[in-house]
Structure 1
Amino acid sequence: MEEGRGSNPQKPSAIIVNVKFAGRNIPVEVSADATVNELKSLLQPLTNVLPRGQKIISKGKVIGDEMTLRSSGIVNGSKIMLMGSQGLHQGDGPITKEASPLSTVRRPHESHRPKMEKSQVYVKRSDHERRWQVTGVLGLSDSGLKAIPDEIWNCGHYARLLDLNNNSVKDVPAKISRLDSLTKLFLNANGIEDKSLSWEGIASLKHLEILSLNENQLTIIPSNLGALRSLQQLHIANNKLTSLPTEIGLLTALEVLKANNNRLNTIPNSIGGCASLVEIDLSCNLLTELPDTLGTLKDLKALYLRNNGLTSLPTTIFKFCTKLSTLDLHATEITVDHLRQFEGWDSFDERRRLKHQKQLDFRVSSSGQFDEGADRK
């Protein structure tokens, strides 16, 4: 029997459709039997428009979510239009720059691919790239890496978290700026040195909320730090830092600062500008004094200062830091008698006692007196 007369030749299982959106042409590889709603899910990370805000238009008609591409007459090489509803988007809004690489579900046979324009580049995504695209989580901790994989830079706007902890990644290049929607960046325990860390690239991450650089070889934090106005947590413990930049005072959203186990010998007065600070850990440094502005942080709840050469605290620390309940002064020269002279001591001591009430109940022999390391003599 001749082909096409009585037989039903197998149709290709995957097609490439060209989606017109915001002046771009986005080639998308998708199953011919996929629903329009499934196509919308593929388009979300490529456009930043949420599926419920997308309208797929083919031949002048809006196609329903439950219809398949095949039943809608969308075939290999078809051109369709995507309309995005205002307000129904993620991140910084619809992407209007140059087209992102092709998103794929199943790669069709070469003969089924339409001829692409010169400006279009076909890229087959690996399984983990597709997973990164869906979750926004780029988890590569403990992977034995010596460099950041090139695939990372293709993740662009949909990367929300990058975890490279416990590798041997020495170089963090300026290309980190490509991950412009990143909110969490973990680079702990990589042996990173000053010369190999691009602070210019990191400073461009305007949405960054958590930056963790613990256990590296850093000796300086440059002024670029002040550009991270969304930063809520800064973890820089176990490095070789001798100071913090004055620009740290620009981080008005900062809630947690952990800079313990460094070589800090001074803290800038600008620390008072970090009005949202809740927890500060400056333990195991070379501090002999603290700026008076630290005693104005009204939201501060926990302050860790053990193993420093301190002999006193800012005199307003109990007066203005009215939420402070944890104060670690072990291995310092500060005495309780000295602290009792500060205005607000009694209120602080009451908060401290309430916080530790459960522990005190189990310590039968405890006197209940202040025992956060301050010498009683």
Structure 2
Amino acid sequence: MEDGGGTADPSPPPVITIQVKFSGRTIPISINLESTIKDLKSVLQPLTNVLPRGQRLISKGKVLLDTMTLKDSELSEGSKLMLMASQGLHQGDGPITKEASLPSNLKRTIDAKRTTEYDKMKMKAPVDKSRSERWKLTGVIALSEYQLMTIPDEVWACGPSVRVLDLSNNSIQEISVKIGSLSSIQKLFLNANDILDKCISWEGITSLKSLNILSLSQNHLTTLPSSLGALASLTQLHIANNKFTSLPIEIELLTQLQILTASNNRLSSVPSSIGNCRSLIEIDLSSNLLVELPDTFGDLHNLKALNLSNNGLKSLPSTLFKMCTQLSALDLHNTEITMNLLRQFEGWQDFDERRRSKHQKQLDFRVGFSAEFDEGADKN
């Protein structure tokens, strides 16, 4: 329509809704008709956990090219596409399917409920007196793989004498405030249980001022409290294989922390305050939903190993290689970061020399200590 001899502004391209079939479910996507297939893949990434370069979109038997627009691809309102995911090219804890398989620890919970009443009674049976006395004498309570559904009361009775408590690989759901009675504990292993957010007493855990190692991997946790910063003596924190979506800003108070394992969660960002954790030597953030890292990673001058594989990262902090002069192990598999990009970073060449030197030392070690080594083995 013309107004006073001029031409009206062109109307915006229409928005259409298409149906994308993936792993037994249909995902409706509303998108501009002039958008490219590459744009569509970016929209699908957080909905499927599949990186854009691992997506193959098919319409009427034809693979759609990234550079084509939806209009060029002859897509219209209600069009149906099929998404095929390349193996390994995903972020987070794998592609989101309609019927995801049960986590192993959740499966253990279900299996535990199927045990006989006799077995349940046996699980809750009191520990014999001699064992309890031995715990107090040694300071070590080892109850890993005991099919426990609850923590025996005899554990709390040991109080300040406990230095190490290993409850890993059980079916324990609740960590009560009584955990605070173990006031001298240094190592606490709660990994591979069935612990839920509502059933864990962070008040009790964060009161453990002597705690050096805390392992909560392979549970059903989604939130870390700000009070985590109270664990000032912590040197190792293992929280892999949960559903954490963020790390608290107060992680900066863990100035003694050397190892952080947070792989296979739902982390979409890392707080910039992590730069204050200058004792960090190893960090594993693989298989999360990260698209960038804070520039403060360059402040981690003691960092030696960093695993970022299976994330949506497209770049790295600009000072990482320049400032982290001890870094020698970096895993970027299944990210969007290319070698061409890495070579542009200041300090890359020095890092690459450290990486190659470390790799060569590992090879020399294997050659010197493997009785089965064959000079021609690398030809196979």
Q: Once the two structures are superposed, what CA deviation does each residue of 1:147-180 show, in whole Å capped at 9, x if it has no partner?
A: 1111111111110000001111111011110000
How far did 1:125 drift? 8.0
> Are 2:291 and 2:311, in contact at CA under 8 Å, matched by a contact in 1?
yes
Matched, 1:197 2:200: yes
Q: Which residue matches 1:226? A: 229
For residues 244 and 281 of structure 2, the distance between their equivalents in structure 1, rounded to whole angstroms, comes to 22
Q: Which residue matches 2:264? A: 261
For residues 310 and 364 of structure 1, the distance between their equivalents in structure 2, rounded to whole angstroms, comes to 38
Q: Which residue matches 1:131? A: 134
Change (3 A) 1:270 1:126: same
For residues 309 and 168 of structure 2, the distance between their equivalents in structure 1, rounded to whole angstroms, comes to 27
Identify the match of residue 275 of structure 1 among 274, 278, 300.
278
SS of 2:260's equivalent in the other structure is: strand
Identify the match of residue 343 of structure 2 among 340, 344, 351.
340
How far did 1:128 drift? 0.7
For residues 247 and 240 of structure 1, the distance between their equivalents in structure 2, rounded to whole angstroms, comes to 19
For residues 132 and 328 of structure 1, the distance between their equivalents in structure 2, rounded to whole angstroms, comes to 41
For residues 364 and 355 of structure 1, the distance between their equivalents in structure 2, rounded to whole angstroms, comes to 22
Q: What is the letter of the counterpart of residue 211 of structure 2?
A: L
TM-score (norm 1): 0.62
Mark the runs of 5 or more structure 1 residues left unpaired by the alignment.
1-123, 367-377
Identify the match of residue 166 of structure 1 among 166, 169, 175.
169
Mark the runs of 5 or more structure 2 residues left unpaired by the alignment.
1-126, 368-374
Q: Once the two structures are superposed, what CA deviation does each residue of 1:332-366 show, in whole Å capped at 9, x if it has no partner?
A: 01111111121111110110010001456789999
Q: What is the letter of the counterpart of residue 153 of structure 1?
A: W
How far did 1:133 drift? 1.1
Q: Once the two structures are superposed, what CA deviation does each residue of 1:240-283 show, in whole Å capped at 9, x if it has no partner?
A: 11111111111000000000001110100110011100000000
Superposed CA RMSD: 1.9
Q: How does 1:76-225 map to 2 (within 5 A)?
A: 126-225=129-228
Matched, 1:247 2:250: yes
Between the two proteins, the alignment pairs up a number of residues equal to 243
Change (3 A) 1:343 1:135: same
Q: Which residue matches 2:7? A: none
How far did 1:309 drift? 0.2
For residues 158 and 297 of structure 2, the distance between their equivalents in structure 1, rounded to whole angstroms, comes to 40
Q: What is the letter of the counterpart of residue 312 of structure 2?
A: G
**Rg (Cα) greater in structure:** 1
SS of 2:148's equivalent in the other structure is: coil
Q: Which residue matches 1:299? A: 302
SS of 2:306's equivalent in the other structure is: strand
SS of 2:165's equivalent in the other structure is: strand
> Are 2:276 and 2:299, in contact at CA under 8 Å, matched by a contact in 1?
no
For residues 338 and 364 of structure 1, the distance between their equivalents in structure 2, rounded to whole angstroms, comes to 35
Q: Which residue matches 2:352? A: 349
User: Which contiguous aligned blocks of 4+ residues in structure 1 show a shift greater than 2 angstroms?
Assistant: 358-366
Q: What is the letter of the counterpart of residue 250 of structure 2?
A: E
TM-score (norm 2): 0.62
For residues 377 and 290 of structure 2, the distance between their equivalents in structure 1, rounded to whole angstroms, comes to 34
Matched, 1:287 2:290: yes
SS of 2:214's equivalent in the other structure is: strand
Change (3 A) 1:166 1:324: same
Q: How does 1:307-346 map to 2 (within 5 A)?
A: 307-346=310-349
Identity %: 63
Determine which structure has greater relative contact order: mean sequence separation of CA pairs < 8 Å that are 6+ residues apart, divided by chain length.
2
SS of 1:220's equivalent in the other structure is: coil
